[in-house]
Amino acid sequence: MNKDWTFLIESARQARENAYAPYSNYKVGAALLTTEGEIYNGCNVENAAYRPTICAEQTAIVKAISEGEQKFKAIAVITENGGSPCGVCRQVLREFAPNLIVIVADTSGNHRIYQLAELLPDSFGPEELRT
Residues lying near Zn ion in the complex (CB under 5 A): 55, 86, 89
Closest approach, Cβ 54 to Zn ion, in A, equals: 8
- β-partners of residue 105 are 78, 111
Closest approach, Cβ 87 to Zn ion, in A, equals: 8
Nearest to Zn ion of 9, 89 (CB atom): 89
- β-partners of residue 10 are none
Q: Catalogue the E-assigned strands of the chain.
A: 29-34, 39-43, 72-79, 101-106, 111-115
Closest approach, Cβ 56 to Zn ion, in A, equals: 7
Exposed / middle / buried, residue 121 (Cβ in 10 Å: 0-12, 13-18, 19+): exposed
Catalytic residue among 17, 36, 57, 127: 57
Nearest to Zn ion of 39, 55 (CB atom): 55
Nearest to Zn ion of 33, 102 (CB atom): 102
The bridge status of strand 72-79 relative to strand 29-34 is antiparallel
46 is catalytic: no
Task: Give the integer Cα–Cα distance in Å for 55 and 88.
Answer: 9
Active-site residues: which are they?
A: 57
